[in-house]
Amino acid sequence: MLSPLQAVSLLCLAQSALAVNFPFEQTTLSEADVKGNKDLAFGKLPVPAVNKARCKTYASDANWPSTDRWNAFNASLGGALLKGIPPAAACYEGPYYNPARCEQIRSIQGSTNFTKADPTIPNGQWQLGNPCPVPPIPNPGYSCNITAFPAYVVNVTTVKQIQLAVNFARNNNLRLTIKNTGHDFLGRNTGGGALQIWTHNLKQLEYIPSYKFGKYNGKAAKVTAALEQFELHQYMTQHNMTLVAPGSTTVGAYGGFMQGGGFSTMVTSKLGLMSDQVLSLEVVTADGRFVHADPWENADLFWAIRGGGPGNFGVVTSAIVKAHDTMPIAQGQVYFQTSPVTNPTTAPYNVQVNDTAFWKGIDIWFSWLPKVTSAKGVGWNYIDTIAPTANTSRTYQLRSQINLPGMTKPEAEAFLAPMIKELNDVGIPLKVYVDWYETYPKQAFRPQGPGESVTNGRFGSRLFPRKNLEDKTSPLFQKTIASIRAFVEEGGYNFHSVDYTPTTEIAGWPGSDSAVNPHLRNAIMHATGYDTNSYGPEVSPADQIKNHARLNEYVNKWRDASPGAGAYMNEADTEEPNFQWSFYGKNYDRLLEIKDKRDPWQVFYAVTMVGSERWFVEGTGGLPTQQGRLCRVQK
């Protein structure tokens, strides 16, 4: 249905492409469809008693829907209901045993191609407590616990199926989870015993050459929830445009990435965050209704979903987003390391230095970030370290890129020359080295096609404010670098940061007025510390707790160097202290009001999302996971 305002905005672009909903969004649930059916009815107030129970209804509970009702639900979905059977169940004796399938899974389990195309499993298995690992050969007493996974999955291809799933979950007080690609690092995409909505098949893009909407006048695209980075790149090439996109090929662009803020490793200091691109949204809300949200209609929802946390205010089906002119990407490569350079690929922009020069170079590299982001560039780096052995001391390597969108190659070379000169002056004999690509998608061409490795480690992260790096001689700068150095040198961890400044000015209209973490607006560095220790099934809960505590001790040094700052919710620790302030800043209270108004049934839940402090997952032995029953914290 069109509101008057929406109708007016549609009229304005009648000559250009018409931004009407996709066909899959035109198949919706009506009152007539659900008439007299208590499982499928839309949400109503007051909140029914079933939604006030201490815990979400679990498979072992008496009021878990009967097989007949699941079957009827499946029929209403047109047969799109799947049982939540993890693929590795094929490796264990029982009803799903299938040695050939197990063998196949063993060979592909490390790829996101596999996990994104599976309805049940997330990328990281620790989030569910590794309840059904692919066992090594021979099988040394591993086990598969199917009840720890989502119980059922709706493989959605229409809005109607999403509405039915939301209604069925709410009316039966089931835990509801949403999986898109499954990339989430925190486990916000999965839950034991849940009914899961799997959006993976919602893939469409319509290019709108000219779109006038509110204060926006330019190119746009109507996009669906499940598009991945590599697909956006294909569309950018096809339509000669630039869209903000994630850094890795299979990350979903408009699911968790957009709703958590979402940065591009190339253009975010120039074009803003992913949530800044959104002009309007189509959403299934907690009451099961399908609504349009923009700055005038359902404005609270529109504000909250853009950066206020994924999967917590509704299920997004599509959006209209800004599209930009194509632009070149100039990419400065800066590497140096304390061990011999053996990789011929990096040799043109890599040198060996001693420890003293290495850390002087690190000071210089970080001191350049304010200049880089002021030039609308984005930096990224890894500081890798290798532990000392009997005969070698600890070694360090900086791998880094300075991405300068919109610059010609000579412009980028001129920009980087004084930085390289400073490095030369402390004994790092690098030359200016710039790769140049005509367009954003060309920069990410991968001959091997899309697909990343799945990861099972854990994170700590921090958004360092710009002021921390503005003056190389200040105690604040020195404390910041010392905290990074301690992380690598004493902690023995690898350091990674992506360095960008998506100010409210760059966000423009309507991006500047959104729920995105205010800490992002004046950030210069999103630092991440990844624990390469396994959180897999072979590590005891006690050791997992110990490893995590050690990582946290070193992340605390970053927190001490940036008092009052926050962290980026999509790449963060589920145990982030005071996550409300870190991930939402001053927006938290307003977001909680919107959450309670829009979802008084508390249908949507995800760890560290707004209102999640009222819930906990039962029965986890070590660090919190999403595997058990979801229950309310009793006051």
Ligand X SMILES: *[C@@H]1O[C@H](CO)[C@@H](O)[C@H](O)[C@H]1NC(C)=O
Ligand Y SMILES: Cc1cc2nc3c(=O)[nH]c(=O)nc-3n(C[C@H](O)[C@H](O)[C@H](O)COP(=O)(O)OP(=O)(O)OC[C@H]3O[C@@H](n4cnc5c(N)ncnc54)[C@H](O)[C@@H]3O)c2cc1C
The nearest distance, CB 298 to ligand X, in angstroms, is: 29
Q: Is the Cβ of residue 557 or residue 595 nearer to ligand Y in the bound state?
A: 595
Q: Tell me the one-letter amino acid at 619.
A: G
> Residue 139 binds what, of ligand Y, ligand X, none (CB under 5 to 8 Å, by partner type)?
none
> Residue 260 binds what, of ligand X, ligand Y, none (CB under 5 to 8 Å, by partner type)?
ligand Y
> Using the rule CB under 6 A, is 99 a contact of ligand X?
no
Interface with ligand Y (CB under 6 A), residue from 150, 191, 262, 451: 262
Q: Is the Cβ of residue 147 or residue 504 nearer to ligand X in the bound state?
A: 147
Q: Is the Cβ of residue 85 or residue 244 nearer to ligand Y in the bound state?
A: 244
Reduced to 3 states (helix: H, G, I; strand: E, B; else coil), residue 616 is strand
Q: Is the Cβ of residue 361 or residue 450 nearer to ligand Y in the bound state?
A: 450
Task: Provide the CA 574 distance to its chain's centre, in angstroms.
Answer: 13
Interface with ligand X (CB under 6 A), residue from 21, 37, 155, 556: 155
Q: Is the Cβ of residue 111 or residue 504 nearer to ligand X in the bound state?
A: 111
Site for ligand X in 178-197 (CB under 6 A): 192
Query: β-pairing, 495-499 with 350-352?
Result: unpaired
The nearest distance, CB 143 to ligand X, in angstroms, is: 7
> Residue 373 binds what, of ligand X, ligand Y, none (CB under 5 to 8 Å, by partner type)?
none
Instruction: Name the token pair of 68.
Output: 């007949």
Site for ligand Y in 559-578 (CB under 6 A): 570-571
Q: Which stretch binds ligand Y (CB under 6 A): 311-319, 481-489, 553-561, 582-590?
A: 311-319
> Residue 450 binds what, of ligand X, ligand Y, none (CB under 5 to 8 Å, by partner type)?
ligand X
Peptide bond into 475 cis (omega under 30): no
Residue 49 CA to residue 57 CA, distance in Å, equals 13
Q: Which stretch binds ligand Y (CB under 6 A): 52-60, 247-255, 536-544, 614-622?
A: 247-255
> Residue 180 binds what, of ligand X, ligand Y, none (CB under 5 to 8 Å, by partner type)?
ligand Y
User: Is the Cβ–Cβ distance between 43 and 287 less than 8 Å?
Assistant: yes
Interface with ligand Y (CB under 6 A), residue from 85, 144, 166, 251: 251
Q: Is the Cβ of residue 135 or residue 255 nearer to ligand Y in the bound state?
A: 255
For residue 54, the surrounding DSSP H or E stretch is: none
> Residue 237 binds what, of ligand Y, ligand X, none (CB under 5 to 8 Å, by partner type)?
none
449 to 62, 229, 362, 454: CA distances (angstroms): 48, 12, 33, 16
> Using the rule CB under 6 A, is 449 a contact of ligand X?
yes
337 to 228, 347, 382, 395, 419: CA distances (angstroms): 34, 11, 11, 7, 17
Binding mask 479-518 for ligand X (x = CB under 6 A): ----------------------------------------
Q: Is the Cβ of residue 82 or residue 291 nearer to ligand X in the bound state?
A: 82
Contacts (Cβ under 8 Å, ≥6 apart) of 279: 211, 213, 214, 216, 220, 294, 319, 320, 321, 322, 510
> Residue 199 binds what, of ligand X, ligand Y, none (CB under 5 to 8 Å, by partner type)?
ligand Y
Q: Which of 146, 156, 22 is nearest to 79 (CA)?
A: 156
> Using the rule CB under 6 A, is 79 a contact of ligand X?
yes
Q: Is the Cβ of residue 16 or residue 204 nearer to ligand Y in the bound state?
A: 204
Q: Is the Cβ of residue 84 or residue 255 nearer to ligand Y in the bound state?
A: 255
Peptide bond into 510 cis (omega under 30): yes
Instruction: Name the token pair of 160.
Output: 């109607």
Interface with ligand X (CB under 6 A), residue from 86, 332, 450, 585: 450
> Using the rule CB under 6 A, is 325 a contact of ligand X?
yes
Residue 606 CA to residue 590 CA, distance in Å, equals 18
The nearest distance, CB 223 to ligand X, in angstroms, is: 19
Q: How many helical (H) and strand (E) elements, i.e. helices and strands, does the chain have?
A: 21, 19
DSSP-assigned states of every residue in 117-185: T-SS--S-SGGGT-SS--PPSS--S----GGGS-SEEEE--SHHHHHHHHHHHHHTTB-EEEESS---S
Name the residue with tokens 């632009």.
327
Q: Which of 402, 421, 422 is nearest to 412 (CA)?
A: 402
Query: Which region holds residue 36: left if phi is over 0, alpha if psi is between -120 and 50, else beta?
Result: left
For the chain, how long is the longest CA-to-CA vector?
79
Q: Which of 373, 395, 225, 241 is nearest to 311 (CA)?
A: 225
Residue 612 CA to residue 458 CA, distance in Å, equals 20
Residue 283 CA to residue 605 CA, distance in Å, equals 16
The nearest distance, CB 142 to ligand X, in angstroms, is: 12
The nearest distance, CB 487 to ligand Y, in angstroms, is: 20
Site for ligand Y in 445-474 (CB under 6 A): 452
* Angle separating helix axes 355-367 and 475-489, nearest 10 degrees: 130
> Residue 225 binds what, of ligand X, ligand Y, none (CB under 5 to 8 Å, by partner type)?
ligand Y
Site for ligand Y in 174-213 (CB under 6 A): 178-185, 188-189, 199
**Total residues found in the chain within this entry:** 635
Q: Is the Cβ of residue 115 or residue 338 nearer to ligand Y in the bound state?
A: 115
Task: Provide the CA 118 distance to its chain's centre, in angstroms.
Answer: 18
Binding mask 372-401 for ligand X (x = CB under 6 A): ------------------xx----------
Q: Is the Cβ of residue 260 or residue 328 nearer to ligand X in the bound state?
A: 328
The nearest distance, CB 629 to ligand X, in angstroms, is: 7
Q: Binders of ligand X: how many residues, by CB under 6 A?
A: 32
> Using the rule CB under 6 A, is 631 a contact of ligand X?
no
> Residue 132 binds what, of ligand Y, ligand X, none (CB under 5 to 8 Å, by partner type)?
none
> Residue 427 binds what, of ligand Y, ligand X, none (CB under 5 to 8 Å, by partner type)?
ligand X
Interface with ligand Y (CB under 6 A), residue from 133, 191, 192, 260: 260
* Angle separating helix axes 355-367 and 409-425, nearest 10 degrees: 140
Q: Which of 299, 221, 302, 213 is nearest to 259 (CA)?
A: 302
> Residue 403 binds what, of ligand X, ligand Y, none (CB under 5 to 8 Å, by partner type)?
none
Residues that bind ligand Y (CB under 6 A): 178-185, 188-189, 199, 225, 246-248, 251-252, 255-257, 259-260, 262-263, 265, 310-311, 315-316, 452, 570-571, 606
Residues that bind ligand X (CB under 6 A): 74, 79, 81-83, 111, 113, 119, 131, 145, 147-148, 155, 157, 192, 201, 240, 325-326, 354, 356-357, 390-391, 427, 448-451, 619, 627-628
